[in-house]
């Protein structure tokens, strides 16, 4: 039957396709494709989502970070969220104060290396909250990289009172 | 001699008028499309083929063998109904005579597979992918390489937009494209810098036939993003003068995805009615051309303007999750609010061709002006002041501005000496790039380049063609200095003092490159073979040489490297085409090596000053190996039923540098497309009716490189259907498409929005109707 023959041809066509799809597997064992991790809910971690800081006081911030192979570096960033632009990565929101125009908002940018070979690390930084800054909604941004250049971010909403 | 006449779909064309000058007319033949001429003396002849509904073909053939067999493909006369258009060679012949792998598509293909933008319509071709930006913008990727590694030629001139950015689309009106040629392989010998992966050559629309006057109206609608649009085209020609005009307009709303909520990183986003907020856009294009044509002289002016305005997904700008005023955005799905981009591309091209003796001299002169603006609310990051200073001259919402002016000129002489087709020529261009806006990524720069090439095509015998090409290019890049408009605390001797940081230093760089290619075609009756080995190059971009600033979209601090060498690439391409009875198979493997691929390398470091605490990304060069290929298999099951299988595979690996063992960004995963096509014969009064089903199977992409994410496999189905019918004595085309039939939620690895995890468009019905009209004012003669 002609149709049988045609069906066979179609099947051959399809099976070539399956073969082609099958040969697409590649060896990715060589490269590390794992992102580092930031544990913002760990006991040690500070601040946590919705934590409060006081003006004129010192605070010790701690970030608990880990990677499957080797960590790279950590960066902390505190900037205002008076305009509600937000990049909190956490689900619960902490209630925002009304929008306002910044006068003298606090800005802190601090990056630090992690000792080579570390798979887990607790980054500790003592910071001083000046008493003259604007109180209100702020963001606490943690960035961590691993040796390969994968980066993970956590954005926490904090308040400075 | 045997002449087989087929159409674009490889169906035989019966009852064509075939005339061999000095010999006579072949007798009309039956449905097989085969025409024979008996006992013709050796020599050179003019062959003319005419058939109503198709463009005429006139070509010169050399008969050196009694058993010569020719296959001629007739193209439907798209807008020049029943008028004769003279083309130098047909698509099949071009493919047989080109040493690189070549895909040629016509406006009919674009109409059939109409996507949101030109490149999205061409995505069905194996080896061709896009970096899509929402539903209406995209840029080409050939075998996983894009940006400045693919050249786009529009009407003979290299299209110069802002192709370095992932969110920058290609400023081309797809309704103005009548024929697109996609060249895969090392094409620098033909197009100079940047043609590393290949070239997309958008040929100028065919010239109207003598004494013609007509046009067409195209109407388009899409359900997914509520798109409506039209393109109106008019043409007219006396005997020697002609003019054409086209206006295209499209307006679309936010596109819809099969999801009620998303996560941008871990930030949850609720979608209103499954719309991706603020992805609406509009596009307005104007085209005009006019020229003078005689047998020996042709000069044509083209003027084009393409304007687009489109929004970026409001809940994330670039990679940054953002809180939005949902009530404001959700009031209308058609408004374009911030952030959005606005691009205008203006182009004037003059093409001239003069024939004298055995020479043909061609010139292409172009002027282009690309102005791109990106608007966004001011948000201070890093050391930017918390409140936007009202003393600053930059408009407060103008995040970035790029303004590019390019003048280009190409002169080429084609000469036929014996069995050699020799081409040689020179080209040069001047570029002026200016930046603006309050966010800094790339400095302003000027660029000049000049090149010379020679290319010889030798017809060894009627089976073999040899190709050899050599090219020299010289470029000069002058980068202007740039300082921040806001102070940052710069530490000197342990004391931090505010200072305006120098982001880009004044730099001059000169680049010289010698490239070339050697290739062969060997064409037998059923088998066509081709091979090519070539070297290509690319001058580093100003961004790669001099970036020094935070890309706030990507939380990255990008650092250029002023000492980068021009990127070089060596590539071997091969092609095998086999046609037998109802079978047609094509395989096109390639092997590619870069000794110094330029790559933006994410490091493990953060920079607190220049980088404002962001991760440092450095431009670096590494050795890269790539290989892969495409497969096309066609089988005509019955007269009315056809099947097709398209496949593509790509492997890329970095062999040196800090990302040794990783692949390259934007590498498309392997994919397979299965097609079934039904074309009923007796459907009068409808003609050329078709129903076609595409099933695309795409594998997962796990071979990623920072900052990419692994992308899952997916299967999507698209259905196309169409027909033609007489309306007011004109043949109207109706095309329908149902894209993403199952409303599958999936992500495309190469999409701009992949990094923030946005799914692709959901189910979409596309309807387009093309209504040609013409007013014959003289009887045509054969």
B331 Cβ neighbours under 8 A, 6+ residues apart: none
Rounded CA-CA distance B297/B361 in Å is 10
What residues pair up with B727 in beta bridges, in sequence order? B730
* pLDDT score, position B618: 94
**Contact assessment for residue A141 and residue A153, using Cβ atoms and an 8 Å cutoff:** yes
**Predicted confidence band at B368 (pLDDT cuts at 50, 70, 90)?**
very high
Residue B11 has φ and ψ, to the nearest 5°, of -90, 145
Highest mean pLDDT among B32-46, B306-320, B457-471: B457-471
Select from A68, A107, A121, A137 the residue whose CB has the most chain B CBs within 10 Å, as the one to mutate to test that interface. A107
The CA angle B625-B629-B630, to the nearest 5 degrees, is 160
Rounded CA-CA distance B516/B511 in Å is 17
Extract the tokens encoding B459. Answer: 């017809």
Extract the tokens encoding A39. Answer: 């544990």
Pairing of strands B2-7, B69-74: parallel
* pLDDT score, position A144: 94
* pLDDT score, position A30: 63
**Predicted confidence band at B32 (pLDDT cuts at 50, 70, 90)?**
low
**Contact assessment for residue A38 and residue A142, using Cβ atoms and an 8 Å cutoff:** yes
B91 in helix, strand or coil?
Answer: helix
Least confident among B17-31, B96-110, B553-567, B748-762: B17-31
Select from B399, B607, B613 the residue whose CB has the most chain A CBs within 10 Å, as the one to mutate to test that interface. B613
**Contact assessment for residue B52 and residue B82, using Cβ atoms and an 8 Å cutoff:** yes
Residue B45 has φ and ψ, to the nearest 5°, of -130, 155
* Cα A117 to the center of its chain, rounded Å: 21
**Predicted confidence band at B11 (pLDDT cuts at 50, 70, 90)?**
low
Pick B322's closest partner by Cβ from A73, A86, A111. A86
Q: What is the mean pLDDT of chain B?
A: 88
Cα atoms found within 13 Å of the Cα of residue A124, Cβ hemisphere only: 3
Q: How near does any CA of chain A get to the CA of B553, in Å? A: 12
Rounded CA-CA distance B705/B599 in Å is 11
In this predicted model, which residue has the larger pLDDT, B82 or A122? Answer: A122
Residues in chain B closer than 8 A to A147 (CB atoms): 604
Rounded CA-CA distance B127/B649 in Å is 8
Among the listed residues B503, B708, B709, the one whose alpha carbon sits nearest the alpha carbon of residue B602: B708
* Cα B407 to the center of its chain, rounded Å: 21
Place of tokens 């006369």: B77
B213 Cβ neighbours under 8 A, 6+ residues apart: B235, B236, B237, B774, B775, B777
Rounded CA-CA distance B451/B392 in Å is 42
Q: Where are the alpha helices (DSSP H) in B428-575?
A: 542-546
* pLDDT score, position B462: 85
**Does A157 reach chain B within 8 Å, measured CB to CB?**
no
Extract the tokens encoding B154. Answer: 């529009």
Cα atoms found within 13 Å of the Cα of residue B693, Cβ hemisphere only: 8
What residues pair up with B714 in beta bridges, in sequence order? B698
**Predicted confidence band at B81 (pLDDT cuts at 50, 70, 90)?**
very low
* pLDDT score, position B320: 64
Rounded CA-CA distance B243/B292 in Å is 9
Select from A148, A154, A155, A157 the residue whose CB has the most chain B CBs within 10 Å, as the one to mutate to test that interface. A148
The number of beta carbons lying within 10 Å of the beta carbon of residue B685 is: 8
Element spanning B95, H or E: helix B91-97
Query: From A89, which residue of chain B is nearest by alpha-carbon distance?
Result: B267
Among the listed residues A128, A124, A108, A146, the one whose alpha carbon sits nearest the alpha carbon of residue A64: A124
Q: How near does any CA of chain A get to the CA of B600, in Å? A: 11
* pLDDT score, position B760: 93
Is the pLDDT at B525 greater than 90, yes or no? no
Among the listed residues B541, B335, B587, the one whose alpha carbon sits nearest the alpha carbon of residue B441: B541
pLDDT tens per residue, range B662-676: 999 999 999 999 999
B24 Cβ neighbours under 8 A, 6+ residues apart: none
CA-CA-CA-CA torsion for B159, B161, B165, B167, nearest 10 degrees? -100
**Contact assessment for residue B628 and residue B617, using Cβ atoms and an 8 Å cutoff:** no
Pick A91's closest partner by Cβ from B268, B643, B674. B268
**Contact assessment for residue B61 and residue B88, using Cβ atoms and an 8 Å cutoff:** no
Q: Judging by beta carbons within 10 Å of its beta carbon (0-12, 13-18, 19+), is residue B43 exposed, middle or buried? A: exposed
If you ran DSSP here, which 8-state letter would residue B14 be given? -
Rounded CA-CA distance B462/B459 in Å is 7
Rounded CA-CA distance B540/B508 in Å is 12
Rounded CA-CA distance B288/B293 in Å is 16
* pLDDT score, position B532: 94
Rounded CA-CA distance B558/B611 in Å is 8
Extract the tokens encoding B421. Answer: 């087709």
* pLDDT score, position B172: 93
Is the pLDDT at B53 greater than 70, yes or no? no
* pLDDT score, position B73: 81
Is the pLDDT at A17 greater than 80, yes or no? no
Residues in chain B closer than 8 A to A138 (CB atoms): none
Q: Is the dihedral of CA B161, B167, B170, B171 positive or negative?
A: negative
In this predicted model, which residue has the larger pLDDT, B257 or A22? Answer: B257
**Predicted confidence band at B280 (pLDDT cuts at 50, 70, 90)?**
very high
* pLDDT score, position A2: 54
Rounded CA-CA distance B227/B229 in Å is 7
**Predicted confidence band at B358 (pLDDT cuts at 50, 70, 90)?**
confident
Least confident among A20-34, A68-82, A90-104, B679-693: A20-34
**Contact assessment for residue A76 and residue A38, using Cβ atoms and an 8 Å cutoff:** no
Pairing of strands B614-636, B556-559: parallel
Rounded CA-CA distance B720/B698 in Å is 20
How far apart are the two ends of chain A, measured CA to CA in Å? 86
Q: Do B555 and A153 touch (CB under 8 A)?
A: yes
pLDDT tens per residue, range B210-245: 888 999 999 999 999 999 999 999 999 998 999 999
ipTM for the complex? 0.80
Please report the residues numbered 79 through 138 in chain A whose beta carbons come closer than 8 angstroms to any beta carbon of chain B: 79-80, 82-91, 101-102, 105, 107, 109-111, 113
Instruction: Name the percent of chain B lying above pLDDT 90.
Output: 59
Residues in chain B closer than 8 A to A113 (CB atoms): 605
How far apart are the two ends of chain B, measured CA to CA in Å? 23
Is the pLDDT at B42 greater than 90, yes or no? no
Q: Do A30 and B633 touch (CB under 8 A)?
A: no
Residue B415 has φ and ψ, to the nearest 5°, of -135, 140
CA-CA-CA-CA torsion for A66, A70, A75, A76, nearest 10 degrees? 10
- Counting DSSP H helices and E strands in chain B, the numbers are 6, 44
**Predicted confidence band at A4 (pLDDT cuts at 50, 70, 90)?**
low
Place of tokens 């856009």: B281
Q: Do B386 and A80 touch (CB under 8 A)?
A: yes
Among the listed residues B703, B616, B264, B602, the one whose alpha carbon sits nearest the alpha carbon of residue A33: B703
Q: Judging by beta carbons within 10 Å of its beta carbon (0-12, 13-18, 19+), is residue A101 exposed, middle or buried? A: exposed
**Predicted confidence band at B609 (pLDDT cuts at 50, 70, 90)?**
confident
Among the listed residues B362, B365, B361, the one whose alpha carbon sits nearest the alpha carbon of residue B348: B365
pLDDT tens per residue, range B624-664: 999 999 999 999 999 999 999 999 999 999 999 999 999 99
CA-CA-CA-CA torsion for B114, B103, B422, B424, nearest 10 degrees? 50
Is the pLDDT at A11 greater than 70, yes or no? no
Is the pLDDT at B316 greater than 90, yes or no? no
Residues in chain B closer than 8 A to A10 (CB atoms): 635, 637, 643
Report the pLDDT averaged over residues B85-93: 51
**Predicted confidence band at B175 (pLDDT cuts at 50, 70, 90)?**
very high
Instruction: Name the percent of chain B lying above pLDDT 70.
Output: 94
* pLDDT score, position A36: 94
* pLDDT score, position B166: 77
Report the pLDDT averaged over residues B48-67: 75
Is the pLDDT at B82 greater than 60, yes or no? no
B323 Cβ neighbours under 8 A, 6+ residues apart: A84, A85, A86
Rounded CA-CA distance B396/B376 in Å is 9
Give the Å distances, CA to CA, from B348 to B194, B241, B405, B595, B750.
22, 19, 12, 37, 32
In this predicted model, which residue has the larger pLDDT, B375 or B268? Answer: B375
Rounded CA-CA distance B473/B684 in Å is 57
The CA angle B183-B74-B187, to the nearest 5 degrees, is 10
Q: How many residues does chain B have?
A: 782
Rounded CA-CA distance B399/B384 in Å is 13
* pLDDT score, position B773: 87
Residues in chain B closer than 8 A to A148 (CB atoms): 604, 659, 662, 706
* pLDDT score, position B383: 84
Is the pLDDT at B781 greater than 80, yes or no? no
pLDDT tens per residue, range A104-144: 999 888 888 899 999 999 999 999 999 999 999 998 989 99
**Predicted confidence band at A3 (pLDDT cuts at 50, 70, 90)?**
low
Report the pLDDT averaged over residues B46-52: 78
B327 Cβ neighbours under 8 A, 6+ residues apart: none
């Amino acid at each position: 039957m002609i149709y049988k023959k045609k069906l066979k041809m179609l099947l051959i066509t399809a099976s070539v396709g399956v073969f082609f799809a099958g040969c697409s597997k590649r060896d990715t064992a060589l490269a590390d494709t794992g992102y580092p991790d930031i544990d913002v809910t760990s006991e040690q971690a500070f601040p946590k989502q919705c934590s409060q800081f006081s003006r004129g006081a010192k605070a010790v911030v701690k970030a608990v970070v880990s990677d499957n192979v080797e960590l790279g570096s950590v960066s902390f960033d505190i900037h205002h969220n008076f305009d509600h632009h937000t990049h909190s990565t956490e689900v619960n929101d902490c209630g925002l104060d009304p929008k306002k125009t910044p006068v003298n908002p606090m800005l802190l940018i601090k990056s630090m290396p992690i000792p080579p070979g570390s798979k887990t690390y607790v980054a500790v930084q003592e910071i001083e909250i000046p008493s003259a800054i604007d109180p209100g909604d702020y963001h606490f941004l943690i960035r961590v990289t691993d040796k390969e250049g994968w980066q993970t971010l956590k954005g926490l909403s904090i308040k400075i009172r | 001699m045997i002449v087989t006449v087929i159409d674009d779909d490889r169906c035989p064309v019966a009852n064509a008028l075939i005339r061999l000058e000095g010999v006579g007319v072949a007798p009309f033949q039956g449905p097989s499309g085969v025409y024979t001429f008996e006992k013709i003396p050796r020599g050179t002849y003019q062959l003319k083929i005419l058939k109503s509904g198709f463009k005429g073909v006139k070509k010169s053939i050399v008969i050196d063998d009694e058993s010569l067999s020719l296959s001629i493909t007739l193209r439907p006369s798209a807008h020049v109904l029943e008028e004769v258009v003279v083309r130098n060679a047909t698509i099949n012949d071009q493919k047989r005579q080109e040493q690189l792998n070549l895909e040629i598509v016509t406006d009919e293909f674009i109409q059939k597979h109409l996507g949101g933008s030109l490149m999205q319509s061409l995505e069905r071709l194996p080896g061709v992918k896009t970096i899509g930006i929402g539903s209406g913008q995209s840029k080409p990727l050939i075998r996983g390489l894009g940006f400045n590694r693919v050249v786009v030629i529009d009407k003979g001139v290299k299209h110069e937009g802002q192709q370095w950015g992932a969110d920058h689309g290609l400023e081309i009106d797809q309704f103005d494209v009548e024929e697109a040629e996609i060249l895969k392989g090392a094409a620098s010998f033909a197009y100079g810098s940047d043609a590393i992966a290949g070239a997309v050559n958008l040929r100028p629309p065919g010239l109207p036939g003598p004494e013609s006057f007509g046009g067409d109206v195209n109407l388009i609608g899409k359900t997914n993003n509520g798109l409506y649009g039209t393109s109106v085209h008019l043409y007219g020609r006396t005997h020697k003068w002609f003019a054409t005009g086209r206006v295209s307009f499209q307006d679309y709303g936010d596109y819809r995805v099969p999801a009620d909520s998303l996560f941008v990183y871990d930030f949850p986003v609720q979608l209103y009615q499954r719309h991706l907020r603020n992805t609406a856009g509009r596009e307005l294009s104007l085209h005009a051309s006019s020229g003078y044509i005689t047998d020996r002289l042709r000069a044509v002016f083209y003027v084009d303007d393409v304007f687009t305005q489109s929004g970026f997904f409001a809940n994330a700008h670039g990679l940054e999750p953002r809180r939005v005023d949902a009530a404001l955005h959700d009031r209308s799905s058609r408004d374009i609010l911030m952030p959005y981009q606005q691009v205008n591309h203006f182009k004037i091209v003059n093409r001239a061709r003069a024939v004298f003796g055995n020479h043909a001299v061609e010139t292409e002169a172009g002027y282009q002006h690309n102005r791109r603006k990106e608007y966004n609310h001011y948000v201070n990051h890093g050391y930017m002041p918390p409140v936007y200073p009202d003393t600053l001259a930059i408009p407060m919402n103008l995040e970035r501005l790029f303004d590019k002016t390019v003048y280009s000129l190409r002169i080429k002489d084609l000469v036929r000496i014996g069995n050699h087709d020799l081409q040689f020529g020179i080209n040069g261009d001047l570029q002026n790039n200016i930046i603006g806006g309050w966010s800094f990524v790339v400095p302003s720069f000027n660029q000049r380049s000049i090149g010379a090439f020679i290319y010889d095509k030798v017809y060894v015998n009627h089976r073999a063609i040899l190709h050899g090409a050599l090219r020299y290019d010289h470029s000069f890049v002058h980068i202007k200095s740039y300082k921040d408009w806001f102070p940052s605390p710069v530490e000197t001797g342990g004391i931090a003092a505010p200072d305006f940081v120098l982001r880009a230093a004044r730099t001059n760089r000169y680049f010289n490159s010698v490239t070339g290619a050697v290739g062969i075609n060997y064409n037998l009756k059923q088998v066509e073979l081709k091979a090519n080995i070539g070297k290509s190059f690319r001058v580093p971009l100003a961004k790669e040489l001099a970036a020094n600033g935070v890309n706030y979209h990507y939380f990255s601090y990008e650092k250029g490297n002023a000492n980068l060498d021009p990127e070089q690439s060596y590539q071997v391409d091969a092609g095998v085409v086999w046609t037998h009875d109802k079978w047609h198979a094509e395989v096109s493997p390639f092997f590619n090596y870069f000794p110094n691929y330029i790559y933006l390398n994410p490091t493990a470091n953060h920079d607190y000053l220049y980088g404002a605490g962001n991760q440092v990304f450095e431009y670096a060069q590494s050795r890269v190996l790539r290989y892969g290929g495409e497969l096309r298999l066609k089988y005509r099951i019955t007269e009315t039923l056809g099947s097709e299988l398209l496949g593509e595979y790509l492997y890329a690996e970095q062999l040196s540098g800090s990302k040794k063992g990783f692949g390259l960004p934007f590498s498309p995963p392997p994919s397979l497309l299965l097609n079934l096509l039904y074309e009923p014969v007796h459907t009068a009064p409808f003609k050329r009716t078709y129903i076609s089903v595409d099933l695309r199977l795409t594998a997962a992409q796990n071979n990623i490189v920072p900052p990419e994410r692994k992308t899952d496999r997916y299967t999507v189905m698209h259905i196309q259907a169409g027909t033609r019918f007489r309306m007011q004595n004109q043949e109207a085309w109706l095309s329908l498409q149902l894209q993403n039939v199952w409303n599958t939620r999936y992500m495309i690895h190469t999409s701009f929005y992949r990094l923030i995890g946005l799914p692709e468009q959901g189910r979409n019905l596309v309807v387009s109707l093309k209504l040609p009209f013409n007013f014959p004012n003289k009887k045509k003669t054969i």
